[in-house]
Amino acid sequence: MLLAPATVMVLVALGYPLLRQAIMSFQHFGLAQQFGQPAEWAGLSNYVTILSDPYFWSVFIKSVLFCLWTAGVTMIIGVGFAVLMLRMSAVVRTIFNTTLIVVWAMPALASLTVWQWLVDPRSGLLNWVLTSVGLEGFKNFNWLGENFWTFYLIASAVIIWASIPLVAITIYAALAQVPTEVLEASELDGATNFQQIRRIMLPMIGPVISLIGVLQVIWDLRVFTQIYVLQQAGGIASETNLLGTYVYETGIAKGDYGVASALAMVILGLTLVLTGRYIRMLYRQGGMA
C-alpha cells in the first residue's frame, strides 16, 4: 500500500506514453492525425520500412560504435581519476571533488555553449592553439561541419567530459570502502601500491564498476541533447545523426510519428536488453540470484 502512490505515478507518467507509442508504431500517424483525423492501421509496415532502410542501419551502427567508444573512454578515465583521488591529500581531494561536482551539475546547454566557443572556426581556442604550434591546416577549421569524423570527435569529448564526474565519484566511494585489513595484509606480503589497486581493490569493486559501465552504455546510447545542439552549429545533421536525433528528425521535423514511434520502440528494445543485464547484476550483487 505504501508503494501504491508511487506505482500509480509511474504508470501514469511512463506507462501511458509507452502504450501510446507502441500503438502509434503500428499506425500511419502523421500531421493530419495531429488535427483529429483517424489513424490508419499500418501493421508491421513501419517496422519493415525501418529495417529495410540502409540509412537506419548506418545510424544504428554509428550509434552503437559511438556509445561503446564514449562509455569505454569515460570508464577508463573515471576509474583512473577515482584511483588518483585515493592518493590525494584531503585538501586537494576536496577541491578535486568539488570541481567534478560542478562539472556534473552544469546545465547541458550552458556547457555546450562554451564548447561551441572553443571550437569556433574563426575565434575558437582550439584552432588558435593548433595554429600557434605550427599546424596551419587548422586555421578556420570547422570541427562541427567538416565531416562526421571531426563532429563525432568533438561530440564524444563533450559527452565524456560531462560523464566522467559521476563515474569517478561513484568508483572512488566504492574504493574507499575496501577493508583496510585486506590492504594491510597485502602490504605485509610485499604488495606495491599498483599491485594493491590492480589485484585487490579493483577486483573487489568489480560489481560496482560493471553496474556503472552498463548504465553508462545505456545513457550514451540514448544521447540526444549534445548531438542535436552541435548539429545545429555544424549543419551536417544527415551525416551525424544518432538514434536519438534520428527519431526526433523523423517525428518532429518530418511529421512521420508512426515511423518515429517504431524507431523509438526499436531503441527501447535495445535498451531493455542492456537493462536486463543491469537488473541481473543488481540481483547478483544483492545475493538474490
pLDDT 10s digits, 197-254: 888 888 888 888 888 888 888 888 888 889 998 888 876 778 888 988 899 888 888 8
Asked if 76 contacts 127 with a C-beta cutoff of 8 angstroms, the reply is no
Answer whether residue 166 is part of any domain.
yes
Answer whether residue 23 is part of any domain.
no
Answer whether residue 12 is part of any domain.
no
Cβ neighbours of residue 208 closer than 8 Å, sequence gap 6 or more: 170, 171, 174
Answer whether residue 200 is part of any domain.
yes
Q: Is the pLDDT confidence value at 287 over 70? A: no
Q: Give the structural domain span for 83.
A: 40-285
Residue 286 binned pLDDT confidence (cut-offs 50, 70, 90): low
Indicate the DSSP class of residue 27: E
pLDDT 10s digits, 68-77: 999 999 999 9
Answer whether residue 264 is part of any domain.
yes
Total number of domains constituting the chain: 1
Answer whether residue 27 is part of any domain.
no
Answer whether residue 22 is part of any domain.
no
Asked if 145 contacts 120 with a C-beta cutoff of 8 angstroms, the reply is no
Answer whether residue 135 is part of any domain.
yes
Residue 289 binned pLDDT confidence (cut-offs 50, 70, 90): very low
CA distance 247 to 35: 21
The confidence score (pLDDT) of residue 211 equals: 84
The confidence score (pLDDT) of residue 164 equals: 93
Kindly report the CATH number assigned to the domain that includes residue 69: 1.10.3720.10
